[in-house]
Amino acid sequence: MLTLSSLFDSTVRRFPNRPALHIGTETLTWRDYAARTARTATRLKEAGIGPGKRFAVLGRNSPHQALLFQASYRLGSTVVPINFRLAAPEIAYILKDSESDLLLYEGVFQELLDQPPVAEWRAVGGRMQSWSEFETGIAGAAQTPIAEIGEESPAFLLYTGGTTGRAKGVVLTHRNLATNALQLSEAKREGPDHCYLHMAPMFHAAELYSNFMLVSGAASRYLEMADPKIILELIDAKAISATMLPPVMLIKMLQLIEADPKAYDLRSLRYLLYGSAPTPEKWVRRALEVFAHTRIWHGYGLTETSPILNTIEHDRAWLAQGHPRAERLNSVGPPLIGTEVRIVGDSGQELAVGQVGEIVVRGPQVSAGYYKLPKETAAAFRNGWFHTGDVGKVDDEGFLTLLDRKKDMVITGGENVYTTEVETVLAQHPDLQDVAVIGVPDELFGEALVAVLVAKPGARPTTEAVLAHCRAQIGGYKIPRRVEWLDELPRSAVGKIRKDELRRVFKGERTG
């Protein structure tokens, strides 16, 4: 049976005595990890959680959450991880919408959970328990066996950000997640001699990527909150050999290394995947130079795809000037085995190689839809294909290049402009730290391009110099009509720029 608990059990049987989970100064073998998972499952059962039940988790990254997730798979229940950066009303909405019976939380969030919206959920039967309370008695608990469940049983209910309305719960089944772990394992062929650093938030789909490392038998170490300096220190001190990073974290790490090239020993890092947001090519090139001992991969996926669809390993030969494959530094590669990717036009017709359109996908890792939202499900999942809302193109070998979110394509003066193209040019300016390009309403052009920029520390670039830099590389209709300066760009938990927030702030007249 293709379930997450069966994959975990297979790993335990293959690598019983290898390191599996680091908890502070303690290291559990796979056999120990399985035993503690089985006892954690017993505590969940005592709390009323079993097959078909849903429970929520609120906390920073930790091995405690990992044990809860594995225990849930073992029971056949469904985990609802909640973003701890949300406000109390948003948390209350997810608890109610998901019909969670129980919330297990880290004690530091007690004050947040004492606010009235969450109290209202509790008033109608919702129960809360801190991790410290829940873990009492686990050491002496009996071991609960693996439940017999179907592959289509929901394993996760992950809520999207809700930036364009209320948050949507994405239903991910055991088949979705276990298949994606095996797809990635087949593509990457990594062995058990890894220590994987979990730094992606455990409430985010990016963390699900690590399931393939679990299949390989790798050990896990959890970072409570992502911080570029701490990540570099851990790679050095704890011999971290593999991790997944959002581009913003990768760039910040590279900047720290550039500031002090001899501060960290990074030779243990043998595997690195980056993804979740566009990455300027100059930083991809720099990463390949700095992490000389590391296999560096790029990946593409969404919450609805468990999460990975495409992936590619960068070849350092592509760095050579004029190399015929250099453009693949910007590609997310071919689809994983069993995955189909098409590019379609506005009427749904499949487009030819090289043409730009919406990316639609299907495969065993693709969710069946949104929880209790039939209209939204019908709109996004049509005729067996999931419409991603992303814009891209494929080459004659099926390698996919992302261009933009469909909603981020700006039509200005009748011309289509992909904001990532303009951002790529802006990112090459030596005095800019961070860049974003958005479209805002404009009476004359329909939409106008606005560049929102962050200068490098100590640099003082002028708007005129930035626009001159753009004019030398892209057509006039792609030049931003406004430039705004910020100290920092708003970002999501995994580093994606919050363009919805920028559009709200800058939709009016110039602010400065």
pTM to 2 decimals?
0.87
**Domain 413-506 is in which class?**
alpha beta
- β-partners of residue 102 are 55, 127
Q: Which residues of the chain have pLDDT under 70?
A: 161-165, 508-512
Buried b (16+ CB within 10 A) or exposed e, 170-203: bbbbbbbbbbbbbbbbebbebebebbbbbbbbbb
pLDDT at position 161: 62
512, burial (CB in 10 Å: exposed 0-12, middle 13-18, buried 19+): exposed
Question: CB of 461 within 8 A of CB of 432?
Answer: yes
| Six-digit token string for 240 | 């971290």
Q: What's the CA gap between 325 and 335, in Å, rounded?
A: 18
Query: For residue range 51-103, what is the model confidence (pLDDT) as tens digits?
Result: 999 999 999 999 999 999 999 999 999 999 998 988 888 899 999 999 999 99
42: helix, strand or coil? helix
Cβ atoms within 10 Å, residue 406: 15
Q: What's the CA gap between 495 and 436, in Å, rounded?
A: 13
- Domain definitions of the chain by residue range: 4-175, 226-404, 413-506
CATH classification number, 4-175, choose in 3.40.30.10, 3.40.50.980, 3.20.20.370, 3.40.50.300: 3.40.50.980
Q: Identify residue 324 by its one-letter amino acid code.
A: P
Q: What's the CA gap between 296 and 282, in Å, rounded?
A: 15
Question: CB of 381 within 8 A of CB of 362?
Answer: no
Nearest of 205, 110, 63 to residue 492 by alpha carbon: 205
Superfamily of domain 226-404: ANL, N-terminal domain (3.40.50.12780)
Name the DSSP letter for residue 239. -
Backbone phi and psi for residue 493, each to the nearest 5 degrees, phi listed first? -60, -25
Q: What's the CA gap between 336 and 493, in Å, rounded?
A: 26
Nearest of 331, 296, 334, 330 to residue 316 by alpha carbon: 296
pLDDT at position 163: 39
H or E stretch covering 278: none
Q: Do domains 4-175 and 413-506 have the same CATH topology?
A: no
Name the DSSP letter for residue 399. -
pLDDT at position 403: 87
